């Protein structure tokens, strides 16, 4: 691990201020970091503490053993390289599909099928019939399918009339 | 057999419900295998997100030597990039909310060999690849299975677990349901004939009324018929009307009575078939399905089918006949007025149907809000102590009140809709009646007798028949809903009936009388799903009467090993033998009767203690029961109960403490007198004092049997002849307590040291606390 990490250190380290948390993207494409200049570099994954209510604050950085390397309160307080590296990882970790319009909602015996257009492309997915979309703070809606994938409707009011009509059952 | 069928279902599920191929497209496979220099694709998965997190289609395929990433470009050859499996140093799965990443890492200062991104839908399939690569990194191979089946199983699993079948054609389901009427053909025919008679007889009074007016009332008033003759005819007519009504009600009675009984019989047949089928299904089925959902299938779903069979089938088919018949009669009486009445009927049916759909949507919304009300209840009532402890009653009241108001608004909206609809619909129907009058009046009166083109009798008949239009329109409008309810109930029932047990006895099973208790594992591998093996090549021989302690970290596979001995599941590789016979060749039921289990959470059925102790041996005498209870250290506490052995223990034995329930379940096992006994953490959830009592009882129980005892507290294994350490699905160490302690750096030795430390510090911290027996509930 140690050998690997010292070699994985990349350009991000140049000009590191001693003492502070540093993050950078390694050659291998992963996020690497060290809590203080004297620590070993470790590859970390990001874990948002409040993915829905406070997505841009409070990020826990966890290493392969699931130990917390650091808790970042506000990513903007980091230096530019670290912030950039962190933001890429955050985008990936916080990724959910965004529903742009709804083509159909079909009730079946135990499941409900949604056919939707997302900003990522067309998709159909299923939820259990007694599983309802969750309201998000700020008026949005979050749907979780049987496989665990998440689909967000950030602002139902901006959808087209047909989608809104199909969604009417699920929003307050 | 059933396995192939289940993969077919998996593929159907993928095709019907997801937007991805049910297998690796042939072109892509050809491209990959060309890149692999002819080697086959052993395992594959779909990476459905690209680097910019848009939905895409990149295939990850594993060959014997290489891993390939392939994309099918529309016109050209598929784009394939591959790297040797030996260049992988590490494989990492990084989970995200909806996008997970699988990283194949090569040399540390090189860029990653590959990073693929995918949604949770692909996760099981990707984990299969990850597992095989990890095994390879540990220097182990995994037997390849059919790549298409593994992929189909992994992708279909989430949908399949929610709904095990592709909702097939509703008509097919209805036909299958009707086939249950087959044994009751006679009764069905009788019911149908009664119902048809009922309809026909309903036509008689209106027609007779018209006849009386035209042939009695009018002639008498005009003086063309003598009053005596008129009275005679009239009384005949009235008598006939009375007769028709009486006969009609008799038919109504026969129809309701016969069909109700018939529906009940069919529901009973379905319940029995369902319950018998459930008893035959493998444990894997029950671990997938929620208990509640299985219970409603046997109870409310069969009940709903009663409704359909008893009332729906006849009502719907007759309503159609009735409408057609009525229309025909009306048109023959007078085609113009007939058309006024009949032409709008299809429109009315359609409007009623639309209304039903609209109500469905509103109802769904109301139901969602209703579930939020019940959520609060199921949340706070069990948690009442916490609510009170934190003094949150006021907030809970407000929360409930808000949701309660909310749902009331929805229900009121629902009521507004249907209460408006029916009066409007009826207004429309009345409008048709008025239109008929408008058409009829000039023709009945006429300017001169010659201009009268409609007799008043015909007109009366017409008016009376018109009132019979409304009921069938209502039923036909509801037909979609009736059929929907019936088909979804039928679907849920057939889903269970169509599930094949995974563990089945072969043609001529061996019966061991009695079982000696020699248990052998020969290179056994097993996995619950996918390619992940939970047991990986375990071999051992246990002689009759030996006591084996199974220890190891949790999740290591101890319970799974015992499940394989009991043949709750079949091995995927190797053999499990009892007395030298493969368990797959044994009569499973017969063998299980000589096998006993005491589990961590003892399950007691609703009934008295004595019934529970006798569960495995219903003909045991009371002496035997008392003897078993005494041996189980249960006799003394049972004597303290006011109802003694007749105490009813609740659904899950709630009135007793965990330790007491455990001792009853031990008594049950003692009475059952098994040749092979499995103790799965039988003492884990009780305090030390109770544990001592249970341990004493267990010591009596293990005598003269082959015993597999799983324990967390190693101290409870002092009676074991040998100890097996099961770790990550392997038999890591085995031998006597002393032998294992002697292994420098051995797992068992480490576990022992760890536990001594723990108990040491715990006892030091609480020197005077002696747990009181029975205090833990
Ligand atoms: N019914 C099941 N379906 C799928 N996986 C299971 C099932 N039961 C156990 N497992 C998995 O098998 C592994 C071994 O479990 P188990 O035999 O219960 O371990 P132990 O008894 O040693 O704690 C665990 O990783 C567990 O998650
Ligand atoms: Mg276990």
Torsion of CA B258, B262, B263, B267, to 10 degrees: 160
Taking CB atoms and an 8 Å limit, are A111 and B54 in contact across chains? no
The predicted-structure confidence for A108-151, as pLDDT tens digits, reads as follows 888 899 999 999 999 999 999 888 998 887 788 999 999 999 99
Identify which ligand lies nearest to the alpha carbon of B600: 2
Does the structure show a pLDDT above 60 at B386? Answer: yes
The predicted-structure confidence for B363-373, as pLDDT tens digits, reads as follows 889 989 998 89
Mean pLDDT of B31-59: 93
**Chain B residues in contact with A172 (beta carbon < 8 A):** 406
Q: Among partner residues B18, B115, B162, which is closest to A29 by beta-carbon distance?
A: B115
* Cα four-point dihedral sign A71, A77, A79, A82: positive
Chain centroid to CA B328: 47
Residues 6+ apart with CB under 8 A from B753: none
Taking CB atoms and an 8 Å limit, are A27 and B119 in contact across chains? no
Mean pLDDT of B478-497: 81
**Chain A residues in contact with B491 (beta carbon < 8 A):** 109
Q: Give me ligand 1 centre to Cα B555, in Å.
A: 6
Q: Which atom of ligand 1 is nearest to B680's Cα?
A: 21
For residue B511, count other CB atoms closer than 10 A to its CB: 12
Q: Is the CB of B557 under 6 A from ligand 1?
A: yes
Q: Distance (Å, rounded) from C-alpha B245 to C-alpha B198?
A: 9
- Give me chain B's average pLDDT, please: 85
Question: According to the model, what pLDDT value does residue B259 have?
Answer: 85
Question: According to the model, what pLDDT value does residue B3 have?
Answer: 57
Mean pLDDT of B439-464: 83
B566 shares a domain with B528: yes
What's the length of chain B?
777
The predicted-structure confidence for A94-120, as pLDDT tens digits, reads as follows 899 999 999 999 988 888 999 999 999
Residues 6+ apart with CB under 8 A from B196: B318, B321
Q: Is the CB of B100 under 6 A from ligand 1?
A: no
Task: Write out the residue range of the structural domain in which residue B135 sits.
Answer: 3-162
Identify which ligand lies nearest to the alpha carbon of B533: 1
Q: What is the CATH number of the domain that holds B744?
A: 3.40.50.300
Nearest to B301 by CA among B169, B488, B498: B488
Nearest to A64 by CA among A40, A43, A33: A43
Residues 6+ apart with CB under 8 A from B579: B512, B515, B516, B517, B518
Q: Give me ligand 2 centre to Cα B555, in Å.
A: 7
Chain B closest-CA separation from residue A3 CA (Å): 8
**Chain A residues in contact with B115 (beta carbon < 8 A):** 29
What confidence category does residue B145 fall into, taking pLDDT thresholds of 50, 70 and 90? confident
Residue by residue, DSSP assigns B367-381 as HHHHHHHHHHHHHHT
Assess if residue B461 is contained within a domain.
no
B609 shares a domain with B588: no
What's the length of chain A?
172
Alpha helical stretches, state H, B179-290? 185-212, 218-222, 227-280, 283-288
Percent of chain B with pLDDT strictly greater than 70 = 95
Which of B137, B162, B187 is the C-terminal boundary of a domain?
B162
Please tell me the least confidently modeled range out of B2-11, B266-275, B519-528.
B2-11
B274 shares a domain with B345: no
Q: Give me ligand 1 centre to Cα B561, in Å.
A: 10
Assess if residue B255 is contained within a domain.
yes
Chain A closest-CA separation from residue B97 CA (Å): 6
Nearest to B577 by CA among B620, B521, B528, B640: B521
Percent of chain B with pLDDT strictly greater than 90 = 25
List the B676-680 sheet strands across, edge first. B595-598, B676-680, B706-710, B547-551, B722-727, B730-735
Mean pLDDT of B740-766: 75
Taking CB atoms and an 8 Å limit, are A120 and B163 in contact across chains? no
B370 shares a domain with B293: no
Nearest to B459 by CA among B441, B446, B435: B441
- Scored b (16 or more CB within 10 A) or e, B277-295 reads bbeebbebbeeebeeeebe
Q: Is the CB of B563 under 6 A from ligand 1?
A: no
Q: Is B6 helix (H, G, I), strand (E, B) or coil?
A: helix
Assess if residue B215 is contained within a domain.
yes
B312 shares a domain with B199: yes
Q: Which atom of ligand 1 is nearest to B529's Cα?
A: 4
B582 shares a domain with B723: yes
Assess if residue B474 is contained within a domain.
no
B137 shares a domain with B28: yes
Does the structure show a pLDDT above 90 at B288? Answer: no
Residue with CA closest to ligand 1 atom 26: B555
Residue with CA closest to ligand 1 atom 10: B528
Q: Is the CB of B95 under 6 A from ligand 1?
A: no
Task: Classify strands B100-105 and B722-727 as parallel, antiparallel or unpaired.
Answer: unpaired
Q: Is the CB of B31 under 6 A from ligand 1?
A: no
Does the structure show a pLDDT above 60 at B654? Answer: no
Which of B435, B466, B501 is the C-terminal boundary of a domain?
B501
Confidence (pTM):
0.78
Q: Give me ligand 1 centre to Cα B140, in Å.
A: 21
| Partner A contacted by B285 (CB < 8 A) | no
Question: Strands, E, within chain A: which ranges?
Answer: 22-25, 31-34, 42-48, 59-63, 68-72, 97-107, 111-118, 121-128, 134-135, 141-144, 150-153
Assess if residue B466 is contained within a domain.
no
Residue B16 tokens, joined? 């019907």
Residue B224 tokens, joined? 């063309």
B717 shares a domain with B589: yes
Q: Is B524 helix (H, G, I), strand (E, B) or coil?
A: strand
Decide which of A71 and A15 is more confident. A71
Mean pLDDT of B608-621: 89
What confidence category does residue A23 fall into, taking pLDDT thresholds of 50, 70 and 90? very high
Q: Please state the ipTM of this predicted complex.
A: 0.86
Mean pLDDT of B677-682: 86
Chain A closest-CA separation from residue B66 CA (Å): 20
Question: According to the model, what pLDDT value does residue B760 have?
Answer: 62
Mean pLDDT of B389-395: 90
Q: Distance (Å, rounded) from C-alpha B2 to C-alpha B92?
A: 35
Q: Which atom of ligand 1 is nearest to B729's Cα?
A: 14
Task: Classify strands B535-542 and A42-48 as parallel, antiparallel or unpaired.
Answer: unpaired
Identify which ligand lies nearest to the alpha carbon of B560: 1
Residue B554 tokens, joined? 């949790």
Residues 6+ apart with CB under 8 A from B770: B689
Q: Among partner residues A96, A111, A169, which is closest to B162 by beta-carbon distance?
A: A111
Query: What radius of gyration, in Å, describes the C-alpha atoms of chain B?
Result: 37
**Chain B residues in contact with A28 (beta carbon < 8 A):** 103, 105, 108, 110-112
Question: According to the model, what pLDDT value does residue B496 have?
Answer: 84
SS3 readout for B454-500:
CCHHHHHHHHHHHHHHHHHHHHHHHHHHHHHHHHHHHHHHHHHHCCC
Q: Distance (Å, rounded) from C-alpha B531 to C-alpha B150?
A: 8
Does the structure show a pLDDT above 60 at A14? Answer: no
Decide which of B498 and B26 is more confident. B26
Chain B closest-CA separation from residue A24 CA (Å): 14
List the A141-144 sheet strands across, edge first. A121-128, A111-118, A97-107, A150-153, A141-144, A134-135
Nearest to B67 by CA among B23, B121, B109, B103: B103
Question: According to the model, what pLDDT value does residue B559 have?
Answer: 92
B605 shares a domain with B566: no
Q: Which residue has the tokens 């040491």?
A: B760
Identify the helix (H) or strand (E) that includes residue B118. strand B114-118
Cα–Cα distances (Å) from B701 to B541, B718, B761, in that order, read 22, 15, 32
Residue B776 tokens, joined? 């833990």
Backbone angles phi, psi at A150, to 5 degrees: -115, 140
Q: Which residue has the tokens 């097996």?
A: B724
Residue B712 tokens, joined? 């967390």
B148 shares a domain with B25: yes
Q: Distance (Å, rounded) from C-alpha B709 to C-alpha B694?
A: 13
Q: Distance (Å, rounded) from C-alpha A121 to C-alpha B689?
A: 62
**Chain A residues in contact with B104 (beta carbon < 8 A):** none
B248 shares a domain with B203: yes
Mean pLDDT of B745-773: 64
Q: Is B63 helix (H, G, I), strand (E, B) or coil?
A: coil
What confidence category does residue B759 fall into, taking pLDDT thresholds of 50, 70 and 90? low
* Cα four-point dihedral sign B380, B382, B385, B389: negative
Task: Classify strands A42-48 and A31-34 as parallel, antiparallel or unpaired.
Answer: antiparallel
Q: Give me ligand 1 centre to Cα B587, in Å.
A: 26
Q: Which of A1, A146, A171 to mutate to test the interface with B (most CBs of B within 10 A)?
A: A146
Does the structure show a pLDDT above 50 at A76? Answer: yes
**Chain A residues in contact with B123 (beta carbon < 8 A):** 147-148
Assess if residue B13 is contained within a domain.
yes
Nearest to B150 by CA among B328, B300, B14: B14
Would you tell me which residues 111-140 of chain B have a C-beta closer than 8 angstroms to some C-beta of chain A?
111-112, 115, 117, 119-121, 123
| Cis peptide upstream of residue B583 (ω within 30 degrees of 0) | no
Backbone angles phi, psi at B546, to 5 degrees: -80, 145
Cβ B11 vs Cβ B151: under 8 Å: no
Question: According to the model, what pLDDT value does residue B773 have?
Answer: 38
Query: What radius of gyration, in Å, describes the C-alpha atoms of chain A?
Result: 20
If one residue of B557, B597, B681 were mutated to test the ligand 1 pocket, choosing by the most ligand atoms within 8 A of its CB, it would be: B557
Q: Among partner residues A110, A121, A128, which is closest to B54 by beta-carbon distance?
A: A121
Taking CB atoms and an 8 Å limit, are B101 and A3 in contact across chains? no
Q: Is the CB of B352 under 6 A from ligand 1?
A: no
Total domains in the fold of chain B = 5
Chain A closest-CA separation from residue B84 CA (Å): 17
Assess if residue B156 is contained within a domain.
yes
Taking CB atoms and an 8 Å limit, are A107 and B49 in contact across chains? no
What confidence category does residue B35 fall into, taking pLDDT thresholds of 50, 70 and 90? very high
Q: What angle do CA B159, B165, B166 make, to 5 degrees?
A: 85
Mean pLDDT of B117-144: 88
End-to-end CA distance of chain B: 47
Cα–Cα distances (Å) from A24 to A82, B95, B111, in that order, read 5, 20, 14
Q: Is B777 helix (H, G, I), strand (E, B) or coil?
A: coil
* Cα four-point dihedral sign B552, B555, B559, B564: negative
Does the structure show a pLDDT above 80 at B181? Answer: yes
Does the structure show a pLDDT above 90 at A63? Answer: no
Q: What is the CATH number of the domain that holds B50?
A: 2.30.29.30
Cβ B91 vs Cβ B130: under 8 Å: yes
Q: Is B647 helix (H, G, I), strand (E, B) or coil?
A: coil
B82 shares a domain with B50: yes
Cβ B345 vs Cβ B327: under 8 Å: yes
What confidence category does residue B40 fall into, taking pLDDT thresholds of 50, 70 and 90? very high
| Partner A contacted by B4 (CB < 8 A) | no
Nearest to B65 by CA among B95, B89, B35, B92: B35
What confidence category does residue A10 fall into, taking pLDDT thresholds of 50, 70 and 90? very low
Identify which ligand lies nearest to the alpha carbon of B157: 1
Assess if residue B201 is contained within a domain.
yes
What confidence category does residue B530 fall into, taking pLDDT thresholds of 50, 70 and 90? low
**Chain A residues in contact with B109 (beta carbon < 8 A):** 7-8, 27
Cβ B312 vs Cβ B486: under 8 Å: yes
Mean pLDDT of B212-225: 88
Q: Distance (Å, rounded) from C-alpha B204 to C-alpha B245?
A: 9
Which of B501, B532, B563 is the C-terminal boundary of a domain?
B501
Q: Distance (Å, rounded) from C-alpha A45 to C-alpha A90?
A: 9
Backbone angles phi, psi at B40, to 5 degrees: -80, 160
Q: Is the CB of B562 under 6 A from ligand 1?
A: no
Give Dmax over CA atoms of chain B in angstroms: 126
Alpha helical stretches, state H, B138-226? 147-162, 170-178, 185-212, 218-222
Q: What is the CATH number of the domain that holds B407?
A: 1.20.1560.10
| Partner A contacted by B93 (CB < 8 A) | no
Q: Is the CB of B527 under 6 A from ligand 1?
A: no
Please tell me the least confidently modeled range out of A68-82, B150-164, B312-326, B383-397.
B312-326
Strand partners, A147: none
Taking CB atoms and an 8 Å limit, are A93 and B53 in contact across chains? no
Task: Classify strands B706-710 and B676-680 as parallel, antiparallel or unpaired.
Answer: parallel
Does the structure show a pLDDT above 70 at B167? Answer: no
**Chain A residues in contact with B19 (beta carbon < 8 A):** 122-124
């Amino acid at each position: 691990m140690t050998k690997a990490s010292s070699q994985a250190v990349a350009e991000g380290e140049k000009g590191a201020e001693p003492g502070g948390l540093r993050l950078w993207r390694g050659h291998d494409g992963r996020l690497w970091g060290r809590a203080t200049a004297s620590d070993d570099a470790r590859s970390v994954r990001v874990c948002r503490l409040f993915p829905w209510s406070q997505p841009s604050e409070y990020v826990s950085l966890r290493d392969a053993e699931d130990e917390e390397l650091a808790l970042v309160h506000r990513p903007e307080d980091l230096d530019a390289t670290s912030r950039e590296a962190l933001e890429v990882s955050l985008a990936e970790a916080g990724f959910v599909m965004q529903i742009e319009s709804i083509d159909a909602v079909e009730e079946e015996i135990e499941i409900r099928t949604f056919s939707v257009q997302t900003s990522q492309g067309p998709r159909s997915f299923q939820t259990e019939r007694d599983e309802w979309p969750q309201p998000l703070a700020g008026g949005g809606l979050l749907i979780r399918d049987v496989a665990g994938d998440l689909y967000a409707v950030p602002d139902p009011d901006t959808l087209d009339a047909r989608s809104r009509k199909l969604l009417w059952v699920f929003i307050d | 057999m059933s396995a192939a069928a289940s993969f077919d279902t998996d593929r159907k599920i993928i095709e019907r419900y997801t937007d991805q191929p049910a297998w690796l497209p042939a072109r892509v496979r050809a491209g990959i295998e060309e890149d692999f220099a002819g080697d086959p694709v052993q395992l594959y998965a779909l990476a459905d997100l690209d680097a910019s997190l848009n939905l895409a289609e990149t295939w990850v395929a594993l060959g014997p030597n290489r891993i390939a990433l392939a994309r099918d470009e529309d016109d050209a050859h598929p784009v394939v990039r591959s790297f040797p499996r030996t260049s992988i140093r590490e494989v990492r799965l990084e989970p995200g909310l909806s996008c997970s990443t699988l990283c194949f890492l090569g040399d540390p200062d090189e860029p990653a060999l590959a990073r693929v991104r995918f949604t949770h839908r692909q996760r099981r399939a990707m984990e299969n690849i990850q597992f095989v690569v990890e095994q390879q990194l540990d220097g182990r191979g995994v037997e390849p299975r059919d790549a298409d089946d593994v992929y189909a199983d992994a992708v279909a699993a989430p949908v399949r677990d929610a709904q095990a079948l592709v909702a097939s054609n509703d008509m097919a389901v209805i036909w299958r349901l009707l086939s249950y009427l087959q044994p009751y053909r006679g009764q069905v025919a009788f019911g149908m004939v009664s119902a048809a008679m009922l309809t026909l007889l309903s036509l008689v009074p209106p027609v007779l009324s018209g006849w009386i007016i035209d042939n009695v009332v009018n002639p008498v008033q005009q003086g063309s018929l003598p009053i005596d003759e008129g009275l005679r005819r009239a009384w005949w007519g009235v008598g006939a009307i009375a007769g028709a009504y009486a006969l009609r009600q008799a038919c109504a009675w026969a129809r309701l009575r016969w069909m109700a009984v018939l529906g009940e019989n069919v529901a009973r047949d379905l319940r029995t078939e369902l319950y018998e089928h459930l008893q035959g299904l493998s444990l894997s089925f029950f671990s997938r399905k929620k208990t509640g959902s299985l219970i409603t299938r046997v109870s409310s779903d069969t009940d709903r089918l009663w409704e359909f069979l008893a009332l729906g089938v006849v009502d719907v088919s007759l309503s159609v006949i009735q409408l057609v018949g009525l229309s025909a009669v009306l048109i023959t009486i007078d085609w113009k007025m007939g058309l006024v009445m009949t032409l709008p009927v299809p429109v009315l049916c359609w409007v009623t149907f639309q209304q039903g759909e609209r109500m469905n949507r509103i109802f769904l919304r109301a139901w969602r809000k209703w579930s939020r009300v019940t959520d609060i209840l199921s949340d706070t009532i069990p948690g009442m102590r916490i609510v009170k402890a934190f003094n949150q009653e006021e907030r809970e009241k407000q929360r409930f009140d808000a949701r309660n108001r909310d749902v009331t608004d929805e229900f009121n909206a629902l009521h507004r809709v249907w209460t408006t609809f029916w009066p409007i619909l009826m207004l429309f129907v009345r409008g048709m009646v008025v239109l008929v009058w408008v058409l009829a009046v000039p023709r009945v009166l006429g300017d001169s007798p010659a201009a009268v083109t409609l007799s008043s009798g015909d007109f009366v008949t017409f008016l009376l028949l018109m009132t019979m239009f409304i009921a069938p329109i209502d039923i036909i409008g509801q037909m979609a809903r009736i059929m929907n309810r019936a088909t979804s109930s039928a679907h849920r029932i057939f889903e269970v009936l169509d599930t094949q047990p995974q563990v089945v006895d072969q043609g001529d099973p061996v019966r061991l009388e009695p079982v000696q208790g020699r248990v052998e594992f020969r290179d056994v591998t097993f996995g619950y799903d996918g390619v992940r093996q939970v047991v990986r090549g375990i071999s051992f021989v246990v002689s009759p009467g030996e006591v084996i302690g199974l220890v190891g970290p949790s999740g290591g596979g101890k319970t799974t090993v015992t499940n394989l001995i009991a043949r709750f599941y079949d091995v995927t590789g190797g053999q499990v033998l009892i007395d030298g016979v493969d368990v797959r060749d044994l009569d499973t039921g017969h063998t299980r009767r000589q096998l006993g289990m005491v589990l961590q959470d003892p399950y007691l059925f609703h009934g008295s203690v004595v019934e529970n102790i006798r569960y495995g041996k219903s003909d045991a005498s009371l002496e035997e029961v008392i003897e078993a209870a005494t041996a189980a250290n249960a006799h003394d506490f049972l004597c303290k109960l006011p109802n003694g052995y007749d105490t009813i223990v609740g659904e899950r034995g709630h009135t007793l403490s965990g330790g007491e329930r455990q001792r009853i379940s031990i008594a049950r096992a003692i009475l059952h007198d098994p040749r092979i006994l499995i103790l799965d953490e039988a003492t884990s959830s009780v305090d030390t004092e109770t544990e001592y009592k249970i341990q004493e009882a267990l010591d009596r129980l293990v005598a003269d049997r082959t015993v597999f005892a799983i324990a967390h507290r190693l101290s409870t294994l002092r009676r074991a002849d040998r100890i097996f350490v099961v770790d990550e699905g392997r038999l890591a160490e085995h031998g006597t307590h002393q032998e294992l302690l002697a292994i420098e750096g051995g797992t068992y030795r480490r576990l022992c040291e760890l536990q001594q430390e723990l108990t040491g510090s715990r006892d030091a911290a609480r020197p005077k606390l002696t747990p009181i027996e029975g205090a833990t509930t």
